[in-house]
């Protein structure tokens, strides 16, 4: 199997402030794929392949998969057993081959990549261009922890903390990367600098998602005057866990353009760069910032 170049991202948190750019001249279609992944990687990838093909048939040129699209195991450590060396492995090869075959940009919501700790993985969002080249990698920084007496989650037991924010230039504008629990930390999105689209692949629990998913996503869109694309896990998984779903696309004014409540499927929406320029001209809040991180 041919290895793909993915640069590891060690080091301290780094801001990626970029000057204002010219956005694409016309509208384009994005897709947020929703899955209900289980413990079998091959089966999950087959399901994703069908949904990506559906998205492409619907006109999508930029497609995002949810967090843990390749595996939600019966135990937390199952994803550690499925980890891949950065640049090599069936999950990464699937993403590269699929992007190339369909001629689309593809964001693999999160992939378990090997790290220095044999008991943990990087939970990494990987971006592939329309030729199947890996062009960006973001390792999840904020790790979910929750305990209400009935449900308990502690991602730090099996996931290593990422340490850098990542944004990538594309034919669709500058894309800011984040994963799930990152959504609760607006300082991460400010550290991205000026971005046109924000991706938030997620596996929100039903408990937290029902309360906070939509308002947090809309807030990130409004405060950054950016489109937000949020592919999610949505349903009851073989391990009994229920994820909230409600994959959606939100415009810079905070309006939900399209969403899907539960079950596997595809959310399609058109991104209009001219509309984004109009909003940013009408409400130039990004240029009015006076408090900056030190």
Write out the catalytic residue numbers.
Answer: 67, 140, 180
Among the listed residues 63, 60, 82, the one whose alpha carbon sits nearest the alpha carbon of residue 71: 82
* Residue found by looking up tokens 């399609």 in the block: 268
* Residue found by looking up tokens 């415009």 in the block: 251
Residue 174 token pair: 């500058």
* Alpha-carbon gap, residue 204 to 243, rounded angstroms: 6
Among the listed residues 20, 15, 9, the one whose alpha carbon sits nearest the alpha carbon of residue 277: 20
* Alpha-carbon gap, residue 53 to 82, rounded angstroms: 25
SS3 of 222, please?
helix
Residue 179 token pair: 């994963």
* Residue found by looking up tokens 């906070």 in the block: 212
* Alpha-carbon gap, residue 47 to 70, rounded angstroms: 10
Query: C-alpha angle with apex 209: 91 to 217, nearest 5 degrees?
Result: 80
Q: Phi and psi for 258 in degrees, rounded to 5? A: -165, 150
């Amino acid at each position: 199997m041919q290895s793909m170049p993915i640069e590891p991202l060690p080091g301290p948190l780094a801001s990626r402030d970029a000057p204002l750019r010219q956005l694409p001249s016309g509208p384009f279609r994005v897709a947020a794929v929703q899955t209900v992944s289980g413990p079998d990687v091959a089966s999950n990838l087959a399901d994703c392949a069908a949904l990506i093909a559906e998205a492409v048939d619907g006109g999508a040129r930029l497609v995002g998969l949810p967090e843990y699209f390749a595996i939600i195991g019966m135990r937390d450590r199952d994803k550690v057993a499925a980890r891949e060396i950065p640049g090599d492995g069936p999950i990464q090869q699937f993403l590269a081959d699929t992007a190339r075959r369909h001629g689309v940009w593809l964001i693999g919501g999160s992939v378990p990549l090997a790290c220095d700790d044999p008991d943990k993985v990087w939970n990494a969002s990987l971006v592939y261009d329309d030729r199947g080249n890996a062009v960006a990698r973001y390792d999840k920084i904020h790790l979910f922890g929750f305990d209400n007496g009935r449900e308990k989650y502690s991602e730090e037991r099996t996931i290593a903390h990422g340490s850098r924010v990542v944004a990538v230039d594309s034919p669709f504008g500058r894309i800011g990367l984040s994963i799930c629990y990152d959504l609760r930390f607006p300082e991460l999105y400010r550290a991205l600098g000026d971005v046109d689209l924000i991706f938030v692949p997620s596996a929100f629990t039903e408990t937290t998602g029902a309360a906070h998913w939509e308002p947090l996503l809309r807030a990130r869109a409004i405060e950054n005057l950016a489109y937000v694309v949020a592919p999610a896990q949505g349903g009851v998984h073989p391990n009994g866990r229920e994820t909230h779903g409600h994959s959606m696309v939100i415009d810079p004014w905070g309006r939900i353009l399209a969403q899907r409540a539960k079950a596997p499927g595809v959310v399609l929406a058109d991104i209009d760069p001219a509309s984004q320029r109009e909003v940013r001209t009408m409400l130039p809040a990004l240029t009015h910032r006076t408090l900056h991180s030190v």
